[in-house]
Structure 1
Amino acid sequence: MKRITAKDLEEKLNTEFNLNIIDVRETDEVAEGKIPGAVNIPLGLIEFRMNELDKNKPYIMVCRSGGRSGRASQFLESHGYDVTNMDGGMLAWEGKTV
């Protein structure tokens, strides 16, 4: 499984456009703040909503601490998606949130 640090993702957000970030936390957690541009698909719905994702695009998976996004990354990777897990999750995120 590919990984990225929160700091490296923050730097990528400052230099690249069209990053595909999927936040797999529950909606009440996301309401407290998410990375700008991130799309919320709770972990329990990944299997049912993965058809909304494009296998030709890379995705960065995020959760609270990195565990749930790691599981989501493994699941999507096993179905042919290009995914990277953000280590440490939102607990490690120091960038701005919306």
Structure 2
Amino acid sequence: MKEITVQELKAKIDNKEDFQLIDVRETFEYETSNLDGLNIPLGGILIETDKIAQDKPVIVQCRSGKRSAAAIMQLEQMHGFTNLYNLKGGILAWQEAFDPNMPVY
């Protein structure tokens, strides 16, 4: 599985690169804090594949990286996605590296 660090993600954001960010946490977690990605909770990821870009890099994130890894495995195995990257450490890693005051559930 391909991974990306929070530092690499921040560089992509700062450089205004073309990519999609998907947050697979539950809606209440997303509402507490997010990185402006599209919220598709893990439980619905396989039925909302039409919302996931196939023509550019897609970074999938959650709280710690475990649910996003599960989402990527499902999407790769069942739908053949090849452009997915797991955000290593999830939003907790982002909080630690860039925004210590960010509330995280």
Q: Give the corresponding residue for 1:30.
A: 30
TM-score, structure 1 normalization: 0.88
Per mean C-alpha deviation after superposition, the further-off stretch among 80-89 and 53-62 is 53-62
Secondary structure at the counterpart of residue 31 of structure 1: helix
> What is the Cα-based RMSD across aligned positions, in Å?
1.6
1:73 and 2:72 aligned: yes
Would the aligned equivalents of 2:58 and 2:85 in 1 still touch at CA under 8 Å? yes
Q: Give the corresponding residue for 2:2.
A: 2
Q: Give the corresponding residue for 1:55.
A: 54
Residue identity in the other structure for 1:20: Q
Secondary structure at the counterpart of residue 60 of structure 1: strand
Residue identity in the other structure for 1:87: K
Between the aligned partners of 1:13 and 1:91, the Cα distance in structure 2 is 18
Report the CA distance between 1:9 and its aligned residue: 0.5
Note the residue ranges of structure 1 that are not aligned, 5 or more in a row. Answer: none
Over residues 68-88 of structure 1, what are the superposed CA-to-partner deviations in whole Å (9 max), with x where a residue is unaligned? 000011111222221000000
Would the aligned equivalents of 2:72 and 2:84 in 1 still touch at CA under 8 Å? yes
Between the aligned partners of 1:56 and 1:17, the Cα distance in structure 2 is 13
Q: How many residues align?
A: 96
| Superposed structure 1 runs of 4+ greater than 3 Å apart | 94-97
Report the CA distance between 1:58 and its aligned residue: 1.9
Identity score, percent: 41
TM-score, structure 2 normalization: 0.83
1:88 and 2:89 aligned: yes
Per mean C-alpha deviation after superposition, the further-off stretch among 72-81 and 82-91 is 72-81
Computing the radius of gyration over CA atoms, which structure comes out larger, 1 or 2?
2
Would the aligned equivalents of 1:27 and 1:40 in 2 still touch at CA under 8 Å? yes
